[in-house]
Structure 1
């Protein structure tokens, strides 16, 4: 039976823009810039504001697509090791969220965990979230941070600080190449 939250029904969104935000945050973390860095935050906010309402929605869908892609990769890696991704990733992620009260207000932690769990069970995080109405302001910051935490977790598992970004960039490139071949063929 197909679910209304099946990823095939979801908008992919602007994965490139979402990846750019995540990559800039990861680079800032590795350079010692804090999450409260006003200059970096202002640049991200200026960029998001320049997108307009439709672009902002596409960015949100793109972030959810990243969560889906990251959890799919983590699920495959864990299954190859005979482990359950939910058992190993979700508790660690939630514990990290709880240690970051400025970024993750307590009331958004269940939502962020549910987005990760939805993706880990092969459901679209954006369609799962959509059933509960519009995104709230506290969820937006937490969504960005959740995506960054997952990317950083993948980077640690892979032993490469750019692995998650490169993985998604390569997937986008392959999709674009396949699209060009379809257009020409």
Structure 2
């Protein structure tokens, strides 16, 4: 019996936009900027303000697709070494989110942990989350942090700061060729 949270039933969303937002934050951190560049923040705010309800949903679905794809890669990478992805990914993610109390509200952390565990067990994060109602404003910073933290974990494992981005862009290119 298939799960209603099976990825084949999930919308992919706007992966390109989600990747663009995630990549701009990651590059800022790699460049040693602790705060957000005001011009970059203005452009991101302008972009997100231009989204209608469908655009926002597509962006959320795109972020969940990033999470799913990152966890799939991590699951395979850890399995190659006889390790469990949940055991090796979750402690770092939860600890990192707990160190960001000004950005991430504590009540968003269990939801994000569940989202990542859903992806780590080959379920759609967006469909898993949908069963609990609408997204909340408090979950948005945590969702953004999760996409960054997973990408950073992949980049550290590979020793390549751009690997997580290439992973997604290559997948998007292959999907566009089909």
Cα offset, 1:50, TM superposition: 1.4
Q: How many residues align?
A: 178
State the partner residue of 1:65: 65
State the partner residue of 2:84: 84
Structure 1: any 5+ residue segments left out of the alignment?
A: 179-185
Cα offset, 1:49, TM superposition: 1.4
Cα offset, 1:51, TM superposition: 2.2
Residues 39 and 105 of structure 1, relative CA distance in 2, 3 Å threshold: farther
1:4 aligns with 2:10: no
CA contact (8 A) 2:155 2:164 kept: yes
- Once the two structures are superposed, the pairs formed by residues 1-185 of structure 1 within 5 Å of their partners are 1-178=1-178
CA contact (8 A) 1:103 1:145 kept: no
Structure 2: any 5+ residue segments left out of the alignment?
A: none
Deviations 1:86-141 (A, max 9, x none): 10001111011111112211000001111100000000000000011111001011
Deviations 1:46-78 (A, max 9, x none): 111112221111000000000000000000000
Task: State the TM-score, normalizing by the size of structure 2.
Answer: 0.96
SS at match of 2:29: helix
Task: State the TM-score, normalizing by the size of structure 1.
Answer: 0.93
Cα offset, 1:37, TM superposition: 4.7
CA contact (8 A) 2:28 2:36 kept: no
RMSD: 1.1
CA contact (8 A) 1:67 1:116 kept: yes
CA contact (8 A) 1:6 1:122 kept: yes
Residues 35 and 115 of structure 1, relative CA distance in 2, 3 Å threshold: farther
